[in-house]
């Protein structure tokens, strides 16, 4: 059974350790990751923009698709849904309540909680508008503190998504919401932008040793053909310029010592648009 509920409608089970849980990235297009979570039998897929690689992954591991989680409406995140439903018609789909979708789904938004019985796992829905007006993320707590965040295009490794629809203030507020999550939370972003983002971040904060080390680590991973993700909230707090608007070095580089952090965020995002 899978159900969506409000916090005040039902007692939510306590977080548990799920030892057999595995999360793997399925590469798609030029730089997308479709995240697949499974327990050896059932699978959850996040933002399937392309059905073919998902089919291949499910078939290789002999998995049944139980749930599809959608963070926002862009084609590279939803265009595989229709084909997946033809093969797995009983899969349950959750998608942002502030956006429109052609496929049947359960609309969700903060503070809804999705309980997936096959995994005995709760996903708390977070409203994180900015990249799109209705963008959401899915956050799950586990008892071993290895919490999970499927963040769509709100945050990336050392970066954040563009703001093509809404205003910059909600985008900034959404990042602050994610920054307040437990530091061990693993963040499953949907694009492999980390290397370029780090290179840009170093133009703002070249003396950040954590950022310098991350560049080396990420380059090694990419040279081996391995993903740079997932990241963690702690790692982003140390290296992501959009979460470091209070950095003295960033403020000095931008000559913006007298500006508030939101205005610094706005300047950084505008600079990155043309990087």
The pLDDT averaged over each successive group of 10 residues in the chain (275 residues) is 42 50 95 97 98 97 97 98 97 97 97 95 96 96 86 98 90 98 97 98 98 98 97 98 97 94 97 93
CATH code of 2-197, in short, is: 3.60.15.10
Cis peptide bond upstream of 230, omega within 30: yes
- Where do the DSSP E strands lie in 39-90? 42-46, 64-69
The b/e string for 100-125 (b: 16+ C-beta within 10 A; e otherwise) is eeeeebebbebebbbbbebbebbbbb
Distance, in Å, from the CA atom of 97 to the CA atom of 263, rounded to the nearest integer, reads 30
Distance, in Å, from the CA atom of 135 to the CA atom of 61, rounded to the nearest integer, reads 30
pLDDT of residue 145: 67
pLDDT of residue 19: 54
pLDDT of residue 235: 97
Strand partners, 189: 152
Token pair of 221, please? 């991973």
- Cα angle at 52 between 135 and 157, to 5 degrees? 40
H or E stretch covering 51: helix 51-60
pLDDT of residue 144: 72
pLDDT of residue 20: 76
């Amino acid at each position: 059974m899978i159900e969506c509920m409000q916090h005040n409608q039902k007692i939510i089970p306590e977080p548990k350790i799920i030892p057999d849980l595995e999360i793997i990235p399925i590469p798609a297009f030029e730089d997308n990751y479709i995240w697949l979570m499974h327990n050896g039998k059932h699978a959850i897929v996040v933002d399937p923009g392309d059905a073919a690689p998902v089919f291949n992954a499910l078939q290789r591991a002999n998995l049944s698709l139980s749930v599809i989680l959608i963070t926002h409406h862009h084609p590279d995140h939803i265009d595989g849904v229709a084909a997946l439903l033809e093969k797995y018609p009983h899969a349950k789909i959750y998608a942002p309540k502030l956006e429109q979708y052609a496929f049947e789904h359960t609309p969700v938004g903060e503070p809804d909680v999705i309980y997936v019985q096959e995994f005995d796992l709760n996903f708390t829905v977070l409203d994180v508008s900015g990249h799109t007006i209705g963008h959401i993320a899915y956050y799950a707590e586990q008892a071993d503190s290895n919490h999970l965040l499927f963040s769509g295009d709100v945050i990336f490794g050392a970066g954040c998504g563009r703001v093509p629809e809404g205003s910059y203030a909600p985008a900034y507020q959404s990042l602050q919401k994610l920054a307040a999550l437990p530091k061990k939370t693993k963040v499953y972003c949907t694009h492999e932008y980390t290397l370029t983002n780090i290179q840009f971040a170093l133009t703002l904060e070249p003396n950040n040793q954590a950022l310098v080390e991350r560049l080396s680590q990420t380059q090694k991973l990419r040279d081996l053909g391995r993903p740079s993700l997932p990241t963690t909230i702690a790692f982003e707090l140390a290296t992501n310029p959009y979460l470091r608007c209070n950095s003295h070095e960033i403020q000095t580089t931008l000559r913006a010592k007298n500006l508030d952090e939101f205005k610094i965020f706005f300047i950084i995002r505008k600079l990155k648009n043309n990087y």
